[in-house]
Chain A
Amino acid sequence: MNSEISPSKETSVVALTGELTIMQAAELKKRLTEALNSAQSVQVHIGKVINVDLTCMQLLCSAHRTAFVRGKQLSIVGPVSPIFRKMIDQTGFRRTHGCSFSPNSNCLCCGLS
C-alpha cells in the first residue's frame, strides 16, 4: 500500500494504491489516524486500489465515525475501482441511508456504487 498524505491545514488527502488487506491494515490505521490528527477534512482516494478486504473496510468505517466525533470530515473521493464496488455489494456495506453510528449522517459508502 502506498499512501501520500498531502498536508494542508484544511484538507488532508490520503491516496491509497495497491493492496488494502489485513497485511496493510495496521499501516492504514496509522495513516488514517495521522491524517485525522493533522487536518479538518480528510479525503481518501481509492481509485488505484487493486484489492481490498474486510479489515480495511472496517478501518475506513472507523475513521469515518472518528471524524464525526471530532467534528471533522472524512470522505471517499474520486473514481471507485470495480474491486471496491464489488466488495461493497458483496459484504452489504452499501447503504441507502443512515450511518449506524450517527443516524443523521450519511454512511461513508453512500452513493459509492
Chain B
Amino acid sequence: MDEQIDIQRNAYREEAYELLAELEQALLELEEVPDNEDLIGRVFRAMHTIKGSGAMFGFDDIAGFTHEVETIYDLVRDGKMQVTKELIDLSLASRDVIAEMLGASKGESPVDAERCGTIIAALKQLMPKHPVAERPVSEALPFADAAFIPQQDDLPAVTYRIRFRPAKDIFAFGTNPVLLLEELSRLGEWFILAHTEDVPMLSDIVPESCYVFWDIVLTTDKGINAIEDVFIFVADSSNILIQVIDEGDEVDKEADYKKLGEILVERGDLNSDDINRMLDGRKRIGELLTAAKLVSPDTIESALAEQAHVKRIRQKRQETVGKASLRVDAEKLDKLVDLVGELVTVQARLNQQAAVSGMAGLLLIAEEVERLVSELRDNTMSIRMRPIGSTFSNFKRLVRDLSETLGKQVVLNTEGGDTELDKTVIEQLNDPLVHIIRNSIDHGIEAPEARKRAGKPAHGTVTLSAAHMGANVVIRIADDGAGMDAIAIRKSAVAKGLIPADAALSEEEIFGLVFAPGFSTAQTVTDVSGRGVGMDVVKKGIENLRGAIDIASVKGGGTTITLKLPLTLAIIDGFMVKIGNEFFVFPLASVEECVEIPKSQMDKVRKRNMMNIRGSVVPYQSLREIFSINGQPPAMERIVVAESGGQRVGFGVDGIVGQHQTVIKSLGKFYRHINGISGATILGDGTVALILDVVQLINAAEKQSRFDR
C-alpha cells in the first residue's frame, strides 16, 4: 500500500517539475506580451494542475501555497488585474518556492516559512482594491526590450497578429511599405488585409501621402525578431503592433480558435460593451456590427480571416503532430543501453568463433546478427539523444536574473537548439555552461554606460550555438563584451607563480592559463563568480565528457568559448593497438595518422623524445615505457600520432590491429585515477583492452617536454 503511494508521489513530483518548467517559460514570455490571454491561461493552468494534483497526493504545503498564486492569476484572467513586472518577479519567486517544496518532500532541506509568507503578502498587496471592469490596454513593460528577446531559432511556428500603420508621409522618406510587406510575406504563411477606411475623397486626397494601414496574420518560425527587423527603419515614425495569438506548440488545444467578437475586442477594434449589447440580439455578430456601423466591413473581414487562418494552422498541426510520445523511466533506458552494449561485445565473439569455425551457415548467421546489432545500437543511442534546445532555454531565466543583479543589459541568442546530444552529456554540461555564461555576463559584458562609451549598443549579446561536426558536437558561447586582456592574465599568472616571468607564450597559450586551478584576475570577487575555482572545474567537467574546451578572444570585441564533445559516451569507434601481449585502444577521433620509423632512427627518436614527420617536429612517447610493459620491442616500431587540443604527440606501439567498435566499461574505483587510461573494453575472446585517455597522455607528454627543456 505504501509502495503504491510512493509511486504516485514520485509520479506527481515528475509531473510537477515539468509543469514548473512550463510555468517559468510562460512567465518569461508573459513579461514580453503582458496582455496575451493564451500565456495567462498557460500560467493559470500550470498552477491549477500543480495545486489540484498536489492536494490529491498529500502535498498540502504545495497545494496551499499555489492556491494563493492561482487566485491572483484568476483575477488576471478575468481582466481584473494587470500583469506587471512586479507580478512576474513574484510569480517566478513562487515557482522557485514550489520547486524547493518538491525537493523538501524528497528529503532535501525544508523551505523557509517566512519567505513563503513574504511572497504571499506581497502578492496580496498587488491585488486590486476595486476590481477593474475592463481589460486595460497594455503598455510595454520597462524591461521588454532590454534583457529579454526570445531566442532566434528553434521556435515552433508561432502565429502573430500584426497591425502596421505607416506614417502618412512615409513615401516622402523614400520608403515603400509594399516592400516591407513583401519581406514579411517571405517569413511564412500569412493573410493580409489593407484597411482603406481613411482614404479620402479625390478632392481631398494628397496623392503622395499614405492613408492605408494593414492587418496581417502571420505564422512563422523565425521568431518575433525577424518580424521586428522588417519594420526596423520605420518603427519610429509608424505605428506597429505585434501580438502573439498562437504559440505554435500546443497540440492538445482544440483546433477551434477565438470567436469573432473576442478577436475584435483583442485588437482594440471594438469595445466589449458593444459586443455584449449586440449579442442580446440573434443575428451573426459580424453582420450586426457592420450594420450598426460599429466597425467597418474591412475590420470584420480581417478578423474573420485571422480566425480562419489560425484554425487552419491548428488543424494542420494536430494532424502532423499526431505522433505519440511516451514517458520512460530513465533507469530503464540506461539498462537498455547496458544490454545493447553487452550484445555488441558478445556479437564480436560470435563473429570470431564463426570465422574460426569456417562453417558457411554459421558465418552467414553471424553476419546477419552483426547487421541487426548495429541497427539496434544506433537506434538505442538515438533514444538517448535529446535536443540541446531545452538546456539553452533554461538559461533564459539565468540571464534575466543575472542581468538584473549586475545592472547590465544582456540579450541571450541561441542557434542550433535542435542539435541532439546524449542525454547524460547534456545533464553534465549544465554546470559548466552555467559557469561560462556567468563569467560572460559578470566579467565579459560591460555595464551599459561603458558599452555606449565604447560605441557598442547598450545591451550586450551572449550567443549560444550548437552544431554537429563529424563525430562531435561543437558548442560555442560567444559574447560581444570586453574580451580577455592577455597582458592582465599573464601578469596574474606570473604573480601566482604559474609561469616564469620571462616565459614566451602565444596569446592562445596565455588564454589557456585561465584553466589553471586558483586562477582569477577579478579585482573584486563578486557574489556570482570570480572566486577562481571556476574555469579549471569547467575544463575538468568537459574533459570528463571526453571533450575539449578552447578560448578565443579579442580585446574590446568579445570572447568565444568553444566546447567540442563526442556524440555518445557509451560506445565509441576505437583504434586498437598491441604492445607486447597487451591490447590498447585509442579513441579513433583523436588519431591523426600512423607512421613507421626504421630501427636505425629509433634510437635517436627515443633519446630526444622527438621525431620528424614531413618536416615538422612532433613529440614522441613510448607507450611501452609509459605502461612499463615487459618484453622485447619488435624491430620496427609503429607510431600512432594522436591529437588533443591542437597538440600532437606520436605514441610508439608494437603493432596496429585496426578499427574496433569499443563498448566502454568504466574501471572500478580502484583503477579510476590511473593517468592515461580512461576505461576498458572487453574483446571478442574475453580479454580486456584498456582505453587510452589521449588528453591526459598528451598533457603529460607536454609537461615532460617542458621539464626536459
Q: Which residues of A are interface residues toward B (Cβ below 8 A)?
A: 22, 25-26, 28-29, 32-33, 36, 53-55, 57-59, 61-63, 65-66, 69, 87, 90-93, 95-101, 103
A62–B293 CA distance with the chains assembled, in angstroms? 20
Interface string of B188-201 (1 = CB under 8 A from A): 00001111110111
A53–B207 CA distance with the chains assembled, in angstroms? 11
Are A61 and B196 closer than 8 Å at their CB atoms? yes
**Is B53 in contact with chain A by the CB < 8 A criterion?**
no
Instruction: Please give, as numbers and ranges, the residues of chain B lying within 8 Å of A57 by CB-CB distance.
Output: 212
Q: Taking CB as reference atom, which chain B residue is nearest A32?
A: B202
A92–B192 CA distance with the chains assembled, in angstroms? 5
Instruction: Please give, as numbers and ranges, the residues of chain A lying within 8 Å of B195 by CB-CB distance.
Output: 100
Instruction: Please give, as numbers and ranges, the residues of chain A lying within 8 Å of B505 by CB-CB distance.
Output: none
Q: Taking CB as reference atom, which chain B residue is nearest A29?
A: B207
Instruction: Please give, as numbers and ranges, the residues of chain B lying within 8 Å of A58 by CB-CB distance.
Output: 196, 199, 205, 207, 210-212
**Is B41 in contact with chain A by the CB < 8 A criterion?**
no
Write 10 A-B pairs (CB below 8 A) sorted by A numbering: A22-B171, A33-B203, A54-B212, A61-B199, A65-B199, A69-B201, A91-B192, A92-B216, A98-B290, A101-B196
In the A-B complex, list the 9 residue pairs whose CB atoms are closest, starting with the nearest.
A98-B297, A92-B192, A25-B207, A92-B194, A66-B202, A100-B298, A92-B193, A100-B197, A100-B296
Are B202 and A98 closer than 8 Å at their CB atoms? no
**Is B257 in contact with chain A by the CB < 8 A criterion?**
no
Known: A55-B208, A65-B201, A96-B301. A91 touches B171 (CB 8 A): no
Interface string of B150-187 (1 = CB under 8 A from A): 00000000000000000000010000111001100100
Q: Looking at the complex, which one of A59, A101, A103 makes contact with B207 (CB distance below 8 Å)?
A: A59
Are B290 and A103 closer than 8 Å at their CB atoms? yes
A92–B196 CA distance with the chains assembled, in angstroms? 10
Are B297 and A99 closer than 8 Å at their CB atoms? yes
Are B297 and A97 closer than 8 Å at their CB atoms? yes
Q: Looking at the complex, which one of B176, B193, B290 makes contact with A53 (CB distance below 8 Å)?
A: B176
**How near does chain A come to B162, taking the closest CB pair, in angstroms?**
11
**Is B12 in contact with chain A by the CB < 8 A criterion?**
no
Interface centre among B176, B182, B207, B212 (most CB of A within 10 A): B207
A25–B200 CA distance with the chains assembled, in angstroms? 15
Q: Which residues of B are interface residues toward A (Cβ below 8 A)?
A: 171, 176-178, 181-182, 185, 192-197, 199-203, 205, 207-208, 210-212, 214-216, 290-291, 293, 296-298, 300-301
A87–B398 CA distance with the chains assembled, in angstroms? 47
**How near does chain A come to B267, taking the closest CB pair, in angstroms?**
15
A69–B200 CA distance with the chains assembled, in angstroms? 11
A32–B211 CA distance with the chains assembled, in angstroms? 18
A55–B296 CA distance with the chains assembled, in angstroms? 22
Instruction: Please give, as numbers and ranges, the residues of chain B lying within 8 Å of A91 by CB-CB distance.
Output: 178, 181, 192, 194, 212, 214
Q: Looking at the complex, which one of A63, A93, A103 makes contact with B202 (CB distance below 8 Å)?
A: A63
Are A95 and B202 closer than 8 Å at their CB atoms? no
Q: Taking CB as reference atom, which chain A residue is nearest B302?
A: A92
Q: Taking CB as reference atom, which chain B residue is nearest A69?
A: B201
Are B207 and A66 closer than 8 Å at their CB atoms? no
A36–B294 CA distance with the chains assembled, in angstroms? 30
Known: A22-B171, A25-B208, A103-B290. A54 touches B202 (CB 8 A): no
Are A54 and B199 closer than 8 Å at their CB atoms? no
**How near does chain A come to B337, taking the closest CB pair, in angstroms?**
54
A62–B34 CA distance with the chains assembled, in angstroms? 38
Q: Taking CB as reference atom, which chain B residue is nearest A37?
A: B202
Interface centre among A22, A58, A96 (most CB of B within 10 A): A58
Are A90 and B207 closer than 8 Å at their CB atoms? no
A113–B516 CA distance with the chains assembled, in angstroms? 71
Are B196 and A54 closer than 8 Å at their CB atoms? no
**How near does chain B come to A111, taking the closest CB pair, in angstroms?**
15
Q: Taking CB as reference atom, which chain B residue is nearest A55?
A: B207
Interface centre among A53, A54, A57 (most CB of B within 10 A): A54
Instruction: Please give, as numbers and ranges, the residues of chain A lying within 8 Å of B210 by CB-CB distance.
Output: 54-55, 58
Instruction: Please give, as numbers and ranges, the residues of chain A lying within 8 Å of B193 by CB-CB distance.
Output: 92
Instruction: Please give, as numbers and ranges, the residues of chain A lying within 8 Å of B196 by CB-CB distance.
Output: 58, 61, 93, 100-101
Q: Looking at the complex, which one of B205, B296, B298, B301 makes contact with A62 (CB distance below 8 Å)?
A: B205
Instruction: Please give, as numbers and ranges, the residues of chain B lying within 8 Å of A28 by CB-CB distance.
Output: 207
Known: A53-B178, A62-B202, A92-B214. A101 touches B301 (CB 8 A): no
Instruction: Please give, as numbers and ranges, the residues of chain B lying within 8 Å of A100 by CB-CB distance.
Output: 195-197, 199, 296-298
A33–B201 CA distance with the chains assembled, in angstroms? 10
Instruction: Please give, as numbers and ranges, the residues of chain A lying within 8 Å of B202 by CB-CB distance.
Output: 29, 32-33, 36, 59, 62-63, 66
A101–B205 CA distance with the chains assembled, in angstroms? 15
A36–B212 CA distance with the chains assembled, in angstroms? 23
Are A62 and B199 closer than 8 Å at their CB atoms? yes
Instruction: Please give, as numbers and ranges, the residues of chain A lying within 8 Å of B300 by CB-CB distance.
Output: 98
